[in-house]
Structure 1
């Protein structure tokens, strides 16, 4: 796979009806001491700053230069910088590392180990498509984001029974940060983390090998069938897992040499020393469905290719050299040796041509992938432009509607303000003109209403002051209300307040008069005095007129300054 920067092409997945959990799946990492000891034994944490553990964050925030991974991915063969084939799969499928389940990571590790150690070839896209495909992980109602994609074996593929567990419990909670390394290239080796990015199904998830690819990989599929079915030398998926765990080389790591050049304990790509047998068996059972009752193979029945078991060369089998004792056949033997040398030369030429053809095929495959990626990107860009146009049209329509609604609202406010101003003029008979109008109907109407309001507030303040001065005379035993409205209500009862005050004053006047008469020590028949019905109106006026000189003296005595109003009416009862 070509070393390219991993990008996203948003192809809609119309087949997914389930809701994507997105960021809701993440929670605080819960890595145990047992996990730390296992990573240490595997040599994954031996390199300085290779791993960084989260603190209390409940959502990944990787430091600069780090990516998000999981303990269960690392123990299944993942290390940085990642293998170019894994980088290519992430690019073609449009995925990030956290989208893949632990079983999917193990499938890729087994495939790379099978290709390099038992087939003697680099892992390639054509062979992969004949065996695997991608599918969405989740239930009918919920689609996962962490582990949201599963790599599965095709039902038609003649492949190993790997015996993977149906579910890996709690793996989503054991996340950490691994140091990003670019393996000597300028592009990112691992896509930058984006936990909120949606998983979008691509056509590449179901991509099948072309007829040409099937033809070119037929010999490899035949070899896989032979590895599984050679009696006494059957190779199993568990044996492949045991082999890469014992070799201490991470299959999903970019390495200096492929596994067919593995040199053993001194290999430069080894991460740690050999695991103890009990640790190896415990780890195999942890990542597979094997139980304690199942035996763990100690080695492979098929010897893997390595530095001590070189790859076979495509040469013709050596002919038996005819010995000198066979007189008469020496000339034939010499000719046979010459033909053998000629055949070897032709074989070398064919090998070179085959190598060139393989390079051309890989280049063509790379160009095809690039072309498909560019086509997908062009489609995505076109869709993005069309979506942008629709959104712009929607925004313009919404803005026009908003402006129209705002204008209508301002006109309604202006009418209400004008109406209020007219009502004020009708009630107060006072109309105002603005000295400097703003020529803005809404603003001018508001200004006039403010002027009217100021006039109304002044009148209310004057009225309150006047009522406050009158309140003690009308309500001597009450406390004055704090608000003008309550104060005004006191002066609008059902009874006549003026009549009540006059009655009170008349009562006081009569009481004072009776007190003065009593003080004069005159003998008075009060029953006759109170019989006012017998007094005629003219008689009453003459009595009042005769009493005025003495009335002034009495009023002066009790501290009242008389007014000039006549007091000749009959008493009010």
Structure 2
């Protein structure tokens, strides 16, 4: 069953904040003031003549008026209006054009685009969106740049405005006029693939893209490409006088404003990508882009391959695959909004594309003619049509014998054919549901495994925390030891400096080195060497004086060689003190006898001798 479109009920009054207004003024997104009109109080867009409905988030991702002819062609081939593309889809086109012009040196290439991108419907909860109802995503089998789209673009549907659509000399056809309630129809061109001839013609470009992604040290990323066109202030989706490989710097005619400050550029890149405040924003590309200062190589071939535009101002309605939603996606959620919008990251779209519902059988539609600016485009280009799949109403009637005679029987046969197609679609849906259930079971098993891994990681984290604590303690101890060692060294240096100052004060001279350097320890060693010379000189003088004085005091003795031998001369074997006392006693006795004899007294010396 087809998911219902929200239609006109999806629109509400535009709510553009002062912050958004200031940002657009700083970026100068339009060269002419009248190219941009802010809505007043209307709750449903009613753009003036020559104006289309776009969004603030489209403009800051590279869209400006007049619109680039490559984007015009995409809108025509896919049968879309501007408001039906998500912001990240717009950024996909901007990055692709910048890649072609600045790093491949060619015009945007339709064949290369078909090799990389395709489209799908966007819906949520059995509702098909009209605003942002189509997603451009990278084919699952293609290796392309990781653009790092944000998981959500908050409230972008509410920030709508009017952009003037202009025609330049090289752009003949306008995009479809605004129809806010037009239903989005899935067309065969959404899945159109490049032909073998186109693949051969673009093989060199695909090889160059692979080199840009995988050259070691010169890897190019989607964020680098995005930051580049934001930094040089050239809108990729604007019709320009020159391609970006002729960019001439600040005086370039296609620049919209002066250089942004580093802070403003980083803030803008983070707003339109999934980079966080901790992630660095590239200030330059690892691969130098082509520009006026870095011209294209000589003999470089510039190719041009635009999406097919209508010829003569009118075309047939293009082949419609089905009216319902052909695939859903993980929504690109709005925090402040009535519903969620499309997610545009490549990883999300891959899974959505592989599990999308098969196309319903095509139904015949009247062969109506229409001119530009009358109704919204609603089909694919002639290059995408397949003769085996397309049948005109006349051909259908030619093979139906009941139409002329039995018109009612012809209608029954047509209904029966459609019923068989619907039955096959139901069978395919059942098969897709079974695959989805199996995928859910696999995801549940992986979730259980991840829970066990998480528990194990928590246990490991405890041991790791213990090791970290021990390491921290060891680092602290080492730091303390280092501090103590430095303190000791500083103390030694201070003491050496003090000794040096004392030496200078005492000797009234300083010392010099043969090769002086600012080395305190070497200075201290030199000071010690000077003191050592002084000591050796004093010892030599003392030896000379000693050799002269010793014979005077000890004339009959040999001069000793050591201090210990010298001291023996003062330590004889006999008791010198006893001899001295005896001599003193002898002198005292003799003096006493002399005194008695002089006094002429009679003394009994026998008794005196008995006295102890």
TM-score when normalising by structure 2: 0.51
SS at match of 2:54: strand
CA gap of 1:72–1:386, structure 2 versus 1, over 3 A, is: same
Alignment partner, residue 293 of structure 1: 278
Counterpart-to-counterpart distance in 2, 1:22 and 1:375: 22
> Does the aligned pair in 2 maintain the 1:18–1:141 contact within 8 Å?
yes
Listed one character per residue, the Cα deviations across residues 462-489 of structure 1 (whole Å, up to 9, x for unaligned) are xxxxxxxxxxxxxxxxxxxxxxxxxxxx
SS at match of 2:318: helix
Q: Which of residues 111, 115, 125 in structure 2 aligns to 1:130?
A: 115
Shift of 1:17: 1.9
Listed one character per residue, the Cα deviations across residues 391-439 of structure 1 (whole Å, up to 9, x for unaligned) are xx99xxxxxxxxxxxxxxxxxxxxxxxxxxxxxxxxxxxxxxxxxxxxx
How much is the aligned-residue C-alpha RMSD, in angstroms? Answer: 3.0
Listed one character per residue, the Cα deviations across residues 502-537 of structure 1 (whole Å, up to 9, x for unaligned) are xxxxxxxxxxxxxxxxxxxxxxxxxxxxxxxxxxxx
Give unmatched runs, 5+ long, in structure 2: 321-363, 370-391, 398-402, 409-612
CA gap of 1:140–1:386, structure 2 versus 1, over 3 A, is: farther
Q: Which of residues 190, 193, 199 in structure 2 aligns to 1:205?
A: 190
CA gap of 1:370–1:152, structure 2 versus 1, over 3 A, is: farther
SS at match of 2:297: coil
Counterpart-to-counterpart distance in 1, 2:14 and 2:26: 21
CA gap of 1:372–1:120, structure 2 versus 1, over 3 A, is: farther
Alignment partner, residue 153 of structure 2: 168
SS at match of 1:243: helix
SS at match of 2:137: strand
Counterpart-to-counterpart distance in 2, 1:368 and 1:130: 22
CA gap of 1:222–1:129, structure 2 versus 1, over 3 A, is: same
Q: Which of residues 41, 60, 63 in structure 1 aligns to 2:26?
A: 41
CA gap of 1:367–1:243, structure 2 versus 1, over 3 A, is: closer
CA gap of 1:382–1:374, structure 2 versus 1, over 3 A, is: closer
Alignment partner, residue 268 of structure 2: 283
Alignment partner, residue 100 of structure 1: 85
Give unmatched runs, 5+ long, in structure 1: 1-15, 316-350, 395-573
Shift of 1:167: 2.1
Q: Which of residues 236, 242, 257 in structure 2 aligns to 1:251?
A: 236
**2:214 is the counterpart of 1:272:** no
> Does the aligned pair in 2 maintain the 1:127–1:217 contact within 8 Å?
yes
Alignment partner, residue 66 of structure 1: 51
> Does the aligned pair in 1 maintain the 2:73–2:309 contact within 8 Å?
no
> Does the aligned pair in 1 maintain the 2:76–2:309 contact within 8 Å?
no
Alignment partner, residue 569 of structure 1: none
> Does the aligned pair in 1 maintain the 2:30–2:65 contact within 8 Å?
no
SS at match of 2:294: coil
Q: Which of residues 175, 198, 222 in structure 2 aligns to 1:237?
A: 222
Alignment partner, residue 298 of structure 2: 313
CA gap of 1:375–1:63, structure 2 versus 1, over 3 A, is: closer
Alignment partner, residue 494 of structure 1: none
Counterpart-to-counterpart distance in 2, 1:36 and 1:172: 16
SS at match of 1:381: coil
Shift of 1:245: 0.1
Alignment partner, residue 70 of structure 2: 85
Counterpart-to-counterpart distance in 2, 1:304 and 1:367: 30
> Does the aligned pair in 2 maintain the 1:120–1:305 contact within 8 Å?
yes
Alignment partner, residue 137 of structure 2: 152
Alignment map for 1:322-341 (pairs within 5 Å): none
CA gap of 1:186–1:377, structure 2 versus 1, over 3 A, is: farther
Alignment partner, residue 246 of structure 2: 261
Alignment map for 1:127-526 (pairs within 5 Å): 127-184=112-169, 187-314=172-299, 362=305, 366=308, 374=316, 376=318, 380-382=365-367
Q: Which stretch has the larger CA shift, 367-376 or 162-171?
A: 367-376
Counterpart-to-counterpart distance in 2, 1:241 and 1:300: 10
> Does the aligned pair in 2 maintain the 1:18–1:139 contact within 8 Å?
no
CA gap of 1:281–1:373, structure 2 versus 1, over 3 A, is: same
CA gap of 1:371–1:265, structure 2 versus 1, over 3 A, is: closer
Counterpart-to-counterpart distance in 1, 2:7 and 2:272: 26
Counterpart-to-counterpart distance in 2, 1:207 and 1:371: 23
Counterpart-to-counterpart distance in 1, 2:132 and 2:309: 30
- Structure with higher RCO (Cα < 8 A, 6+ apart): 2
